Structure 1
Amino acid sequence: MRLGIMQPYFLPYIGYFQLLNAVDKYVIYDNIQYTKKGWINRNRILQNGKDLMITIPLEKDSDYLDVKERSLSVGFDKKKLLNQIRESYRKAPYLEQVMPLTERIVNFDDNNLFHYIDNSVRKICRYLEINTEIIISSSLNVDHSLKGQDKVIAICKELNATDYYNAIGGQELYSSDAFKKEDISLHFISSNPIEYKQFANEFVPWLSILDVMMFNPVEKIKSMLNDYKLIN
């Protein structure tokens, strides 16, 4: 059984969904510490030929809380964000197909940060016809005090995974020997360069999956999901 494990990210780039699509089961961490430096509550879209950061504002709270303990700001202007997205992509060929999905994602009525992101990931998976089983990390019967590689191996063993898949950026975090000792094969997905027409502008790579969906039909995106190298 092929397993992937990742943090929750808001409208992540296509590489996140390549990994999700490549495995049989996918664990999303909810009991992992929130960090401002990552992509948990922000991403990039295209606006006037350049990348623009969009962010889910959060209530002020301790920097040591887990993602599932953080809340969206009561001042989060969802209408403003949707207008920003709609205006940025108003001439995109698949606006009419993608905007209703985007509205359901942004307007989701739950102020818990993890629930909000988890809902968005699952809705995009349905749109892209990705049928991988998604599991929330805190539901698993493992020692949740474990960190890094040790926690990943514990989750793999709990779910009887034979193969663990991770994004290429995780190469320095994991030891293939440590996984071999547990009869688990370690693999890394390295996305090939993906380019498509973004209006008449110079292509801006690795934006949010929203950008991919605004400019491409589902069938083409499904082929993009398999456009990567698997490194063992």
Structure 2
Amino acid sequence: MILGIMQPYFMPYIGYFQLMKAVDKYVIYDDVNYIKRGWANRNNILVNGKSRMFTVTLKKASSNKQFNDIVIGDDFKKLMKTLQMHYSKAINFERTMVLMERIIAFSDKRLAAFIANSFQEILNYLSIDTEILMSSGIAKDNSLRGKDKIMHICKILDADVYYNAIGGQELYDKEEFREHGITLNFVEPIIQSYPQLHVNEFIPYLSMIDILMNNTKDDVNKLLDAYRVKF
């Protein structure tokens, strides 16, 4: 069984969804400390053909709190208005707006739970059957840290293969995982261009929102399949 584990990010770039699609089970690492000024509650979309950041307002966010203790304080009116203004001509605008409306209407405003639901909504839309789990819901030894906790979760869930985002190459050692009976591989995105609105040159690494707006469901899945596994 192939497992992926990542902290929660709201509408992240394609690499995170590629990882989700590539694994059998995906654990949202919600019972670790929130990273202030990180990417959990912000990303980039296109505004007048340029990359611009949107930010989801949080209530009393602190790096002393865990992701599952942070609460969203945003009504999403600004974001939805921005999407309406700058993506209305996109080929998949209407379907994506319906999807976004469902996502922002989710009643549980705890950051991790809210993001988990957004992931599930998108996976359902794309007909991807990866199972989403919350780290906080797994009975485990929470005194462990770093790679030891990752390997511990792999063991609990009977995962013999662990996929990590490509950035984890600097953090994790394949041999150390192998000694614990786990094959460690890294998912590296192959960034492919797709039609974008009002741009002279393709702008990569934007929020999944931009991909959903500018592509059909089938084309999104083709983009998600454009990655290499580094063994």
Question: What TM-score results when the alignment is normalised by the length of structure 1?
Answer: 0.95
Task: Please report how far the alpha carbon of residue 18 of structure 1 lies from its aligned counterpart in structure 2 after TM superposition.
Answer: 0.5
Aligned mates of 2:150, 2:54 — CA distance in 1: 30
Residue of structure 2 equivalent to 1:136: 134
Task: Please report how far the alpha carbon of residue 151 of structure 1 lies from its aligned counterpart in structure 2 after TM superposition.
Answer: 0.6
Aligned mates of 2:86, 2:36 — CA distance in 1: 25
Residue of structure 2 equivalent to 1:32: 32
Task: Please report how far the alpha carbon of residue 61 of structure 1 lies from its aligned counterpart in structure 2 after TM superposition.
Answer: 4.5
Unpaired runs of 5+ in structure 2? none
Aligned mates of 2:75, 2:137 — CA distance in 1: 32
What is the 5 A alignment of 1:208-227?
208-227=207-226
Alignment equivalent of 1:196, drawn from 194, 197, 207 = 194
Unpaired runs of 5+ in structure 1? none
Residue of structure 2 equivalent to 1:165: 163
Residue of structure 2 equivalent to 1:10: 10
- Opposite residue 196 of structure 1, the aligned amino acid is Y
Residue of structure 2 equivalent to 1:175: 173
Aligned mates of 1:191, 1:79 — CA distance in 2: 32
- Opposite residue 227 of structure 1, the aligned amino acid is A
State the secondary structure of the residue aligned to 2:59.
coil
Task: Please report how far the alpha carbon of residue 158 of structure 1 lies from its aligned counterpart in structure 2 after TM superposition.
Answer: 0.5
Q: Is the 8 A contact 1:89 1:214 kept in 2?
A: yes
Aligned mates of 1:143, 1:33 — CA distance in 2: 16
- Opposite residue 172 of structure 1, the aligned amino acid is E
Q: Is the 8 A contact 1:78 1:107 kept in 2?
A: no
Residue of structure 2 equivalent to 1:94: 92
State the secondary structure of the residue aligned to 1:171.
helix
Q: Is the 8 A contact 2:34 2:62 kept in 1?
A: no
Aligned mates of 1:134, 1:58 — CA distance in 2: 23
State the secondary structure of the residue aligned to 2:91.
coil
Residue of structure 1 equivalent to 2:76: 78
How many residue pairs get matched? 230
- Change over 3 Å in CA distance of 1:149–1:49 after alignment to 2: same
- Opposite residue 147 of structure 2, the aligned amino acid is Q
Task: Please report how far the alpha carbon of residue 136 of structure 1 lies from its aligned counterpart in structure 2 after TM superposition.
Answer: 0.5
Aligned mates of 1:49, 1:200 — CA distance in 2: 5
State the secondary structure of the residue aligned to 1:213.
helix
Runs of 4+ in 1 over 4 A off after TM superposition: none
- Opposite residue 169 of structure 1, the aligned amino acid is G
Task: Please report how far the alpha carbon of residue 162 of structure 1 lies from its aligned counterpart in structure 2 after TM superposition.
Answer: 0.9
- Opposite residue 114 of structure 2, the aligned amino acid is Y
- Opposite residue 12 of structure 1, the aligned amino acid is P
Task: Please report how far the alpha carbon of residue 77 of structure 1 lies from its aligned counterpart in structure 2 after TM superposition.
Answer: 3.3
Residue of structure 2 equivalent to 1:230: 229
Question: What TM-score results when the alignment is normalised by the length of structure 2?
Answer: 0.96
Task: Please report how far the alpha carbon of residue 200 of structure 1 lies from its aligned counterpart in structure 2 after TM superposition.
Answer: 4.1
Aligned mates of 2:98, 2:105 — CA distance in 1: 10
State the secondary structure of the residue aligned to 2:12.
coil
